């Protein structure tokens, strides 16, 4: 007979193991946050936040990179959100599952799998060179939009599918048109999920470097038009660290980037809680 462990023993072992795995994950996260905070927070002064970089970023602050980050991210989200949500609505509400939807979905998944450096190269060839936008906020925003599009499509689709089919039936039986049903009932109910997708995309855009090195360039000047080159915080961090210009300033930038992503997630989470409450 094969000796078997008592179920109580295996249960205890499994619980301990899973607890340890979870703990390890948490520990890694805490280590990163603490490490960057210790090295970066001493740099965080009002001057660092609100002064433009001087001497390649060795001195001064990072104000222009904050602004460039906001521009590029905002542009990407503003472009990708309607496209992504619209595609998701089409896929879920206006077509039946078939080869066409499968191709669109497959395409979007392939797009999600393209490494960002390749996407950067594509953006460089298309927007920077072919369309002549140059290294600019516009080229960067457009390429980032392509990068986050699959995330928004995927999460929006899941969110819209999760809205009970009965709601649609009720709306139709009350004489609402399909569009009214979508805008009045389906989208509001799916909004928390859609918001999550958009917030994930914001996070991805804020942290992206490869795409932007190729498309937005690395000019430290304050960008004033869509066609100006701009260096985002993530790119700034990369260049400062990689070229050994100033490690303290690199960590300062990293700390600010990390804190803003945390804050944005927190804000999105609170907003979502409110929306969920309002619609249930």
Partner 1 sequence: MKEYKIRLEELSFFFGDFQALDQVSLEIRPREIFGLMGPAKSGKSTLLRVLNRMCDLIPEVRVTGRVWLDDEDILSPDCDVVNLRRRVGLVLSKPMPLPRSIRENLVLAPRLAGRERGKMEELVETSLKAAQLWEEVKDRLNDSALKLSGGQQQRLCLARTLAMEPEVILLDEPTSGLDPISTAKIEETLSQLKKHYTIILVSNNTKQIARATDRTAYLLMSRIIEIGDTARIFTIPKDKRTDDYISGRFG
Contact residues: partner 1, CB under 8 A: 96, 164, 166-177, 180, 184-185, 189, 279-280
C-beta closer to partner 1: residue 28 or 276: 276
Min dist CB 253 to partner 1, Å, is 43
C-beta closer to partner 1: residue 23 or 164: 164
Min dist CB 91 to partner 1, Å, is 16
Provide the pairing of β-strand 53-54 with 59-60. Answer: antiparallel
Min dist CB 280 to partner 1, Å, is 5
C-beta closer to partner 1: residue 188 or 207: 188
C-beta closer to partner 1: residue 97 or 109: 97
Quick one: three-class SS letters along the chain? Answer: CCCCCCHHHHHHHHHHHHHHHHHHHHHHHHHHHHHHHHHHHHHCCHHHHHCCEEHHHCEECCHHHHHHHHHHHHHHHHHHHHHHHHHHHHHHHHCCCCHHHHHHHHHHHHHHHCCHHHHHHHHHHHHHHHCCCCCCHHHHHHHHHHHHHHHHHHHHHHHHHCCCHHHHHHHHHCCCCHHHHHHHHHHHHHHHHHHHHHHHHHHHHHHCCHHHHHHCCCCCCCCCCCCCCCCCHHHHHHHHHHCCCCHHHHHHHHHHHHHHHHHHHHHHHHHHHHHHHHCC
Min dist CB 194 to partner 1, Å, is 16
Min dist CB 174 to partner 1, Å, is 4
Min dist CB 90 to partner 1, Å, is 17
C-beta closer to partner 1: residue 31 or 172: 172
C-beta closer to partner 1: residue 114 or 276: 276
Backbone angles phi, psi at 230, to 5 degrees: -150, 145
Min dist CB 191 to partner 1, Å, is 11
C-beta closer to partner 1: residue 62 or 171: 171
Residue 101's contacts (CB-CB under 8 Å, 6 or more residues apart) are: 91, 95
């Amino acid at each position: 007979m094969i000796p078997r462990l008592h179920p109580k023993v295996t249960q205890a072992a499994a619980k301990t193991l899973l607890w340890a795995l979870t703990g390890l994950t948490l520990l890694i996260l805490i280590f990163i946050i603490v490490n960057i905070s210790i090295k970066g927070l001493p740099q965080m002064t009002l001057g660092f936040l609100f002064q433009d970089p001087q001497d390649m970023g060795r001195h001064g602050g990072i104000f222009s990179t904050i602004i460039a980050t906001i521009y590029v991210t905002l542009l990407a989200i503003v472009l990708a959100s309607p496209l992504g949500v619209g595609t998701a609505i089409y896929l879920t509400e206006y077509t039946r599952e078939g080869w066409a939807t499968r191709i669109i979905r497959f395409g979007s998944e392939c797009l999600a799998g393209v490494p960002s450096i390749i996407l950067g190269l594509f953006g460089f060839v298309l927007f920077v060179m072919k369309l002549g936008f140059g290294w600019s906020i516009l080229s960067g925003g457009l390429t980032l939009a392509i990068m986050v599009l699959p995330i928004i499509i995927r999460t929006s689709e899941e969110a819209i599918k999760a809205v009970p089919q009965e709601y649609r039936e009720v709306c139709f039986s009350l004489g609402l048109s399909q569009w009214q049903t979508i805008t009045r009932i389906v989208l509001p109910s799916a909004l928390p999920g859609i918001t999550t997708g958009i917030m994930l995309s914001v996070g991805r855009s804020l942290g992206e470097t490869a795409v932007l090195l190729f498309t937005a360039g690395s000019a430290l000047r304050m960008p004033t038009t869509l066609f100006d080159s701009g260096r985002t915080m993530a790119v700034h961090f990369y260049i400062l660290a990689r070229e050994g210009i100033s490690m303290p300033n690199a960590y300062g930038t990293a700390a600010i980037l990390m804190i803003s992503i945390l804050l944005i997630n927190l804000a999105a989470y609170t907003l979502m809680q409110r929306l969920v409450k309002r619609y249930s």
